[in-house]
Amino acid sequence: MLNPFDKMVVPTYYGIPLKDLNPELMAIMTGKAGVVIIRDSGATPEEYAEWSLGLGYHLSPEIWCTDKEHSSLFWTVTNEMMDDRNQGLFGDYELDWHTNMTPVGDAEETIGLYAKTITYDTETWFANSVPYFTQLPEEKKQRLRELTVILDPKRTLGVIKKAWQPAFKKIYGQEVLDEIVKNRMSREVRDSINMEPENKEKFGLSRGIMNRHKLVPDHPLGVEGLFFSPYEVHGFSLKDNPLDNFGEGLSKELWTELWEDYVQNDDYIYKHKWQEGDIALFDNIIGIHRRPDIRKDKPRTLLRTATWYKSNIREHYNYVV
Ligand SMILES: [Fe+2]
């Protein structure tokens, strides 16, 4: 059995310097457990950035919110202004359940967040589908393995559950909107700054924005769970046959089951309350995350890295979703 737990268990390291935490092992833990927390490591943002080169392959995020102060590996997630027109990435509005691997399914597989400035009680919630999937009967697992998810990235087909969607056009100027689009189209693992030349060609090219993907992904570390970003699902199909008239019938039934038994189930949720200096590493493939609404009048800044699992810990180079 790949996951011996029937609940979400979050490995947490207190007071251990980063130099004593092997980044390769931490990457494996992130994939197997979904989330890893490192608290009071004493690491500066620069030390975390340096250490994170061992966690996975990084692209240099050439985007308006690239951190200018600590490391070019960071995106800054903040409600403060990055320049005289534009707020930081995902600044001050609610972010409901999502994974950062939509709509570009071949984008970075893990995220790391370093809490730089925390001035009030604020949380990020994580859901992990692996323990949920583990406890399902074998027959049910087999059925889910055969399903394809139809996404609605352009919000034209209709989604089963409508909710939050970032109001990018209200928040950012045109130059930033152009950069967001450009950035989405350039998530190529082969271009990573720390990719070994001999491994580069083993990875497939990014397929760009995707409107269908496997429900049970081919996880690079072999864990089995669900790639389920609930607010973007239009429906499900079996091979190429839609299960039903999307949004009704069997698609809606299955969606509701996953929503209630997995996403709304405390057994599979971890709510992280931030302290300055915290590092949260999480898998984007089998987990989703959300941030309850945050204050607009007080500073909150996280430094974000995004990585692919490295070759030395991967079981394969197939497309994941
Ligand atoms: Fe996110």
Ligand 1 center from residue 204 Cα (angstroms): 24
CA of 290 to the centre of ligand 1 (A): 7
Q: Of the segments 37-46, 146-155, 231-240, which one has the largest average pLDDT value?
A: 37-46
241 contacts 148 by C-beta, under 8 angstroms: no
Strands 123-128 and 287-291: antiparallel
CA–CA separation, 149 vs 226, rounded Å?
10
**Residue pLDDT, tens place only, 107-129:** 999 999 999 999 999 999 999 99
Which stretch of 11-15, 36-40, 232-236 has the lowest confidence by average pLDDT? 232-236
Question: What domain range is 20 assigned to?
Answer: 12-313
Task: Output b/e per residue, 132-149; b: 16+ Cβ within 10 A.
Answer: bbbeeeeeeeeebeebbb
CA 43 – ligand 1 centroid, Å? 23
Expressed in angstroms and rounded, the spacing between residue 238 Cα and the centre of ligand 1 is: 29
Q: Separation of 50 CA from ligand 1 center, angstroms?
A: 22
pTM of the model: 0.91
Band the pLDDT of 191: cuts 50, 70, 90: very high
Q: In the chain, how many domains are there?
A: 1
**Distance between CA atoms of residues 94 and 207, nearest Å:** 29
> Which pair of structure tokens corresponds to residue 50?
């340096």
Evaluate whether residue 320 is within a structural domain: no
Q: Is the pLDDT of residue 313 over 70?
A: yes
* pLDDT reported for residue 287: 97
Tens digit of each residue's pLDDT (9 = 90 or more) over 301-311: 999 999 999 99
CA of 99 from ligand 1 middle (Å) equals 6
- What is the pLDDT at residue 84? 59
Q: Is the pLDDT of residue 165 over 90?
A: no
Q: What CATH number does residue 221 fall under?
A: 3.60.130.10
CA distance 190 to 197: 9
Query: Who has greater pLDDT, 272 or 80?
Result: 272
Rounded to 5°, angle at Cα 210 from 204 and 215: 90
Q: Please report the DSSP string for 181-214 in residue order.
A: HHHHTT--GGG-TT--HHHHTTSPPP--B-SEEE
For residue 6, being part of any structural domain is answered with no
Once rounded to an integer, what is the mean pLDDT over residues 286-298?
Answer: 88
In whole angstroms, give the CA distance from residue 151 to residue 251: 12
Q: What's the gap in Å between 144 CA and the centre of ligand 1? A: 25
Q: How far apart are CA 148 and CA 321, in angstroms?
A: 10
Predicted local distance difference test score (pLDDT) of residue 237: 92
pLDDT value, residue 248: 67
Average pLDDT for residues 281-290, to the nearest whole number? 97
Cα 139 to ligand 1 centroid, rounded to whole Å: 32
| String of DSSP letters for 258-311 | HIIIIIT-GGGEEEEEP-TT-EEEEESSSEEEEE----SSS-EEEEEEEEEPPG
Q: How many CA atoms lie within 13 A of 148 on its CB side?
A: 13
pLDDT at 184: 67
pLDDT band at 1 (very low <50, low <70, confident <90, very high): very low
Cα(121) to centroid of ligand 1, in Å?
19
Q: Is 273 among the domain residues?
A: yes
DSSP state of 46: H
Q: Is 102 inside a domain boundary?
A: yes
The DSSP secondary structure of 291-306, one letter per residue, reads: E----SSS-EEEEEEE
Q: Does some domain include residue 4?
A: no
How far, in Å, from the CA of 244 to the mean position of ligand 1?
31
Contact 228, 289 (CB under 8 A): no
* pLDDT, average across residues 242-270: 89
Mean pLDDT of the chain: 88
Distance 267 CA to ligand 1 centre (A): 21
| Amino acid of residue 313 | I
Kindly report, residue by residue over 63-107, the tens digit of the pLDDT. Answer: 656 677 888 888 877 776 666 556 555 555 558 899 999 989 999
Write down the pLDDT at residue 101: 93
Q: What tokens does 289 get?
A: 């995350």
Whether the upstream peptide bond of residue 103 has omega within 30° of 0, thus cis, is yes
Distance 89 CA to ligand 1 centre (A): 10
Kindly give the distance from the C-alpha atom of residue 127 to the centroid of ligand 1, in angstroms, as a whole number.
Answer: 12
Domain contains 177: yes
| DSSP letter (8 states) at residue 135 | T
Yes or no: say if 65 and 88 are a contact pair by the CB < 8 Å rule. Answer: yes
Share of residues in the chain with pLDDT > 70 (%): 84
Query: Which range has the top average pLDDT, 4-8, 58-62, 284-288?
Result: 284-288
Question: Would residue 136 count as lying in a domain?
Answer: yes
Q: Does any domain span residue 2?
A: no
pLDDT value of position 190 = 95
